[in-house]
Amino acid sequence: MTIDKVAGAEGATLPRPRGSAWRPVTPSTPRGTFVIGLVVKIFALGIVGALAVAAAGPLIAAQEWMWLSLLVVTTGLIFYVYLSPRRIALKYFVPGLLLLIAFQLVPVVYTASMAFTNFGDGHRGSKQEAIEQIQSSSVRQVPGSVEYGLSVATRGDDADGELVFLLLDPSGNGLIGDAEGLRPLAPGSFTASGTRITAADGYRVLSLSEASLRSEDITALVVPTEAGAVRANGITRAFEGRAVNAYDAGCDCIVNVDTGETWTADNENGSFVNAAGERLPQGWKVNVGLRNFAVALTDPRISTHFLGALLWNIAFAALSVFVTFVLGTACALALHSDRIRGLRIYRILLVLPYAMPSFAMLLVWSDMFNRDFGLVNKLLGLDVDWFGGAWSARLAVIIIQLWLGYPYMFLVATGALQAMPKELVEAAAIDGASPWARLRQVTLPLLLVALSPLLISSFAYNFNNFNAIRLTTDGGPFPPTDSTAGATDLLITYTYRLAFGGSGAQAGLASAISIYIFFIVVIFSLISFRRTIRHEEVFS
């Protein structure tokens, strides 16, 4: 065998067989560490498998084959990666990929798919579910209806759990009713006293006082039966009534058996409509194509105010970023010196607004700008109705954003200043540059290069800063003749009012407008990123 020389410790050489596989000797993993890692891996994969099996059952029952396929592929990928000692890179890549899909791609895809439907109040389920709801909600007690003794119960021991009806018929037979239907109770599995069931295996019978606290849920519970449905009559009695509105498959319509009035199915809009054009409140979800996108551009309620809301939205986001950046950077520059005493105390005080919950602080600031008892007017000796005028309300909102946002800019600017090479500033000083020239020509350009991505993300965040408007001005002030759009409404708050502020939620329309907002933000972000790249090339 031919031997090559391999450099060893202290200049010594070690033989290595030529042509054979040779690897450097590495310290072996301690056996205890190996066993602990193996146990943790088995335990973690066991949890993943158990969760996958638990999730597969409901998906199969609901016939959600696409989501079931995604579940199988995801679970298989996890086991494929982590059951092998190889594929080290994938072990770190897969968790990030799955989190990206779960928290970014899935919501975006779901929102985009909903934009092509009429999803909203009255249009949330399938057509069959709408028919069942129409029939069950029209149940009325008629002469000869069977009456039951009623005990309200929950599954398990939780008094706030899902309600069920424990029924005792006139013959003493026990039945259980829920949204799925009416089923008999096995003899010996329940105890009755008088006309009511007092105990049943696997159920917690609510006392009369506990049941009275959930009277609305009891009234809303409808148990479908072949003849109609069972509904509660108080909290101790129930009846099996007849559905006044019945579905006729022959005409694909709902017929009122008492009056003969007919509502025909409008499958394009997902509703039952009568001859007068009136719709039943219960509809179903259908695909409407690009209708929501067209409505957003052609509906006068939206198009009339869309441009104004867009211009203020851009100004609000840009001014919020600008004023917070200026104040935060100024504070960071002022404290960028080791010679200042109490530096940590100053920095803590400046960061305090960032540590407070913005939700609460927005409500506090809303009260501070109150005309009658607000702190701002009292301290400054003013009598300004801040939220009563368009421009004063906008100024108030920007001031609030300045107080809430400058600590973030202070933190990131402080970090960028500390990471900045001191040699550049010192070289400029040696060349005779004044402090103002060093700040303007060296420090600020380098800060902008480092902070530009953060400024862009801050602009995108403030463009959709729903809470800042909702919790302070609620979009107002509004014109006397139009409460649709206010002076401080952003597109997101304007969309929320249009989609959810009327008689019912229109989630499909809201999704379509959200996609428009998404593309607007993308366009502004791309333009900003291009300018940022050019700025980096100049100073690189």
Residue 536 has pLDDT above 50, yes or no: yes
3-state secondary structure of 296: helix
Residue 7 has pLDDT above 50, yes or no: no
Q: What is the pLDDT of residues 138-158, one digit of tens each?
A: 888 888 888 999 999 998 777
- Token readout for 401 is 């954003």
Pinpoint the alpha helices (H) of 151-279. Answer: 208-212, 215-220
Cβ burial 70-108 (10 Å sphere, 16+ → b, else e): ebeebbeebeebbeeeeeeeeeeebeeeeeeeeeeeeee
**Cβ contact 302:296 at 8 Å:** yes
Distance (Å, whole) CA 163 – CA 214:
9
3-state secondary structure of 90: helix
pTM of the model: 0.73
Quote the DSSP letter at residue 540.
Answer: -
Quote the DSSP letter at residue 320.
Answer: H
**Cβ contact 475:308 at 8 Å:** no
Residue 4 has pLDDT above 50, yes or no: no
Residue 22 has pLDDT above 50, yes or no: no
Residue 330 has pLDDT above 80, yes or no: yes
Distance (Å, whole) CA 422 – CA 415:
14
- Residue 232 vs residue 339, higher pLDDT: 232
All structural domains of the chain:
31-114 (1.20.58), 139-243 (no CATH), 298-539 (1.10.3720.10)
Residue 18 has pLDDT above 60, yes or no: no
Identify the band that residue 267 occupies on the pLDDT scale cut at 50, 70 and 90: very high
For residue 65, give every residue at least 6 positions away whose Cβ sits within 8 Å of its Cβ, in sequence order, or none: none
Q: What would the mean pLDDT of 287-305 be, rounded to a whole number?
A: 86
Q: What is the pLDDT of residues 234-247, one digit of tens each?
A: 999 999 988 889 89
Residue 504 has pLDDT above 80, yes or no: no
Q: What would the mean pLDDT of 92-113 be, rounded to a whole number?
A: 87
Q: What would the mean pLDDT of 371-377 be, rounded to a whole number?
A: 91
pLDDT over 90, % of the chain: 41
Look over the chain and give the mean of its residue pLDDT values, rounded to a whole number: 86
Residue 226 has pLDDT above 50, yes or no: yes
Residue 486 has pLDDT above 80, yes or no: yes
- Token readout for 89 is 């890179």
Residue 265 has pLDDT above 90, yes or no: yes
3-state secondary structure of 414: helix
Distance (Å, whole) CA 278 – CA 259:
16
**Cβ contact 428:454 at 8 Å:** no
Determine the pLDDT at residue 228: 81
- Token readout for 388 is 């009563």
Determine the pLDDT at residue 236: 92
Distance (Å, whole) CA 309 – CA 301:
12
Distance (Å, whole) CA 411 – CA 398:
20
For residue 274, give every residue at least 6 positions away whose Cβ sits within 8 Å of its Cβ, in sequence order, or none: 261, 262, 263, 264
Rg for the chain, CA atoms, rounded: 34
